[in-house]
Amino acid sequence: MDENKVISKEEIEIDIKRVIEALFKHIWFIGITTVLATLIAIGYTFWFVTPMYKSSAMFYVNNNDISVGSVSASITSSDIVASKYLVDSYIVILKTRNCLEDVIDYAELDMTYNDIAGMVSAEAVNETEIFKVTITNSDPKEAETIANAIAYVLPKKIASIMDGTSAKVVEYAIMASHRSSPSYTKNAVIGMAIGFILSAGLVALREIFDLTIRNEEDITDVTKYPILAEVPDMTAPSKGGYYYANGKKKRKYGYYKPGSGKDEEKKVELFGENISFAASEAYKLLRTKIQFSFADEADCHVICTTSALAGEGKSLSSVNLACSLAQLEKKVVLIDCDLRRPSIAMKIGIQKSPGLSEYLTRHVHYGDIAQPFSAGSSINFDVVSAGKIPPNPMELLSSARMEKIVNRLKENYDYIILDLPPVEEVSDALVAAKLADGVLMVIRQDYCNRTAVENAVKQLEFVNAKILGIVFNATYDDGFGRKYYYRGNYYGKKGYGYGYGYRYGYRRPYYENNYEASAEEAKRAAENRGENSELQKFVRKKSSSKTEENGNKNSGV
């Protein structure tokens, strides 16, 4: 229980440094939003806010108790305070209904008491015995008329109500030449502040609640396993990444536009001897760490590659790992165990069938499934494609025949690499991972999220799979303006693979109606392909030994 609490606390922990970095990386968004908000505030002020004008008249409070004729009595502080109190009394009288209705009658205005009451404001000037009455109106002439009407009516009204006091006009109102409101500068500053706060807050909240894997620290926060290698992004938009197989362009990466005259100039290699130097060194580092991960002296090691989500580059990582191990003159076989959405045959340009599914369904023999592949003068290994898509991939991968083929392949190879489906998509990877000596988890930067990685690791640990470490894929560190990858429909819009049942769009099995035709087709493809793989050499050697042995027995030797 305590451990779960700690994990939850870590998930909502705010990394101030990361938030500040996010603000700087999105400074362009914050700047554009701030400018737009400022322009909107100015435009709204110009088009929708009515200009207002002010006209003011000033009055002096006359207290007759301290001024009698031409003889002035001594004025004490209490008399001054009394005069200031009279200012408040006069302002109250000004805002009464009787006073304002007299103003309306005197100025012959087409207004009601409520209309004019909203225009009138009054206040003492610097806490003196002088107070100012201000009229705010959209018509400057009308504001002047109302203010001067008050200057005429108010002294008479005060004299009739309060004995011994009076109000004298100090200054009459004049028509305003400039509007008092709105202030374009003030509204622009307010709009700028609102735009900045909203945009910066949006960026900060997005970063706080975003669980996407951004860097190595995000990986170490959710898993205890080490990062074995950081493979740089070989499909960056600036490189116009795509690859060729069988002389045809199979898939385009990034933002490269075909037909721009650069098709032959910028062919980015994604596997083999001609990949980028940084990627080559990363896979060599991965190869070295894998070799040191196995303490036993086994003749053959089975390595699985998988990922939490689809589209993280696990299949390409499997191919490059096989290339790197083959460079050490090791016998390597790569098996595409993603029977729902196979991709290795398409990536490297080999025949899709016969493959693993044909062997597991007993349509081809053991020696007919491995295809030799060469990615350079020093890179030669065998590949077992996934074959045609079966209706029951999980049952096939968990069958005794799958375990049998892995054990037989161990007799002929130094390394067996199994390319498994994503763990979070289907459970096929879990049943196949039990056959491996170690599992590599491929995580793509700015693509996978921490929750998916954590769940995938827990599922692999549940089946007692030995996780060797993490391959941090498609990494980069440019400081500003990171690009983001959005998951497409790699495994279909309605789920991974074809699924089971009509909900996911059930496909008819490829051998549902004609088992024999599929078997014959697989045999013909195997014969046309040739017999040059390590597995086929082994099968031929065994067959020759048995033939020779039978001949010796028949001759009586």
**Which residue has tokens 């161990």?**
410
Helix (H, G, I), strand (E, B) or coil at 502: helix
pLDDT band at 494 (very low <50, low <70, confident <90, very high): very low
pLDDT beyond 50 at 3: no
Give 42-91 pLDDT, tens digit per residue. 999 999 999 999 999 999 987 765 444 444 444 556 656 667 778 888 98
Cis peptide before 237 (omega within 30 of 0): no
82 and 18, same domain (yes or no)? no
**Domain end marker among 162, 193, 209:** 209
Rounded average pLDDT over 236-245: 41
473 and 340, same domain (yes or no)? yes
Helix (H, G, I), strand (E, B) or coil at 414: coil
Instruction: Give a yes or no: residue 549 inside a domain.
Output: no
Cα R_g (the chain), whole angstroms: 43
Strand partners, 79: none
Looking at residue 328, which CATH number applies to its domain?
A: 3.40.50.300
Instruction: Give a yes or no: residue 305 inside a domain.
Output: yes
Looking at residue 105, which CATH number applies to its domain?
A: 3.30.70.1130
Beta-carbon count within 10 A of 235 CB? 20
C-alpha–C-alpha distance, residues 31 and 29, integer Å: 5
280 and 429, same domain (yes or no)? yes
Q: In terms of pLDDT, which residue wins out, 15 or 410?
A: 410
223 and 139, same domain (yes or no)? no
pLDDT beyond 50 at 31: yes
C-alpha–C-alpha distance, residues 99 and 157, integer Å: 7
Give 149-184 pLDDT, tens digit per residue. 999 999 999 988 887 778 899 999 999 999 999 999
Ramachandran quadrant class, 257 (left: phi over 0; alpha: psi -120 to 50; beta: rest): beta
pLDDT beyond 90 at 331: yes
Cα separation values, 32 from 107, 182, 188, 200, 414, Å: 51, 25, 15, 11, 58
User: What are 346's two structure tokens?
Assistant: 């398409």
Highest mean pLDDT among 8-17, 147-156, 469-478: 147-156
What is the pTM (predicted TM-score) of this model? 0.63
Give 422-470 pLDDT, tens digit per residue. 999 999 999 999 999 999 999 999 999 999 999 999 999 999 999 999 9
User: What are 477's two structure tokens?
Assistant: 């560190």
Please say whether the beta carbons of 433 and 457 come within 8 A: no
Instruction: Give a yes or no: residue 311 inside a domain.
Output: yes
Rounded average pLDDT over 90-97: 92
Beta-carbon count within 10 A of 523 CB? 16
Instruction: Give a yes or no: residue 316 inside a domain.
Output: yes
Half-sphere exposure of 352 (CA within 13 A, CB side): 9
458 and 442, same domain (yes or no)? yes
Nearest Cα to 498, choosing from 426, 550, 546, 445? 426
> How many domains does one find in the chain?
3
pLDDT of residue 445: 92
Strand partners, 60: 130, 168
136 and 201, same domain (yes or no)? no
Instruction: Give a yes or no: residue 498 inside a domain.
Output: no
Residue type, 162: M
**Pairing outcome for strands 415-419 and 332-336:** parallel
Half-sphere exposure of 6 (CA within 13 A, CB side): 5
Instruction: DSSP letter for 509, please.
Output: P
Among 59-68, 108-117, 518-527, name the one with the lowest average pLDDT.
Answer: 518-527
Rounded average pLDDT over 267-285: 87
203 and 348, same domain (yes or no)? no
Dihedral over Cα of 20, 25, 29, 32: its sign: positive
Cα separation values, 49 from 118, 206, 375, 398, 515, Å: 17, 34, 71, 73, 80
Instruction: Give a yes or no: residue 139 inside a domain.
Output: yes
57 and 44, same domain (yes or no)? no
Cis peptide before 182 (omega within 30 of 0): yes
222 and 144, same domain (yes or no)? no
Highest mean pLDDT among 82-86, 203-207, 552-556: 203-207
28 and 142, same domain (yes or no)? no
Instruction: Give a yes or no: residue 187 inside a domain.
Output: yes
pLDDT band at 297 (very low <50, low <70, confident <90, very high): low
Among 139-153, 207-221, 457-471, name the one with the lowest average pLDDT.
Answer: 207-221
What average pLDDT is seen over the chain?
80
User: What are 185's two structure tokens?
Assistant: 């500068």
Element (H, E) at 544: helix 534-554
Cα separation values, 212 from 133, 215, 219, 315, 474, Å: 62, 9, 10, 21, 14
61 and 39, same domain (yes or no)? no
Helix (H, G, I), strand (E, B) or coil at 72: strand
34 and 60, same domain (yes or no)? no
pLDDT of residue 15: 76
Instruction: Give a yes or no: residue 293 inside a domain.
Output: yes
Host domain of residue 189:
14-49+182-209
- Kindly write down the DSSP assignment for every residue of 109-162, as one continuous string: -S--HHHHHTTEEEEESTTSSEEEEEEEESSHHHHHHHHHHHHHHHHHHHHHHS
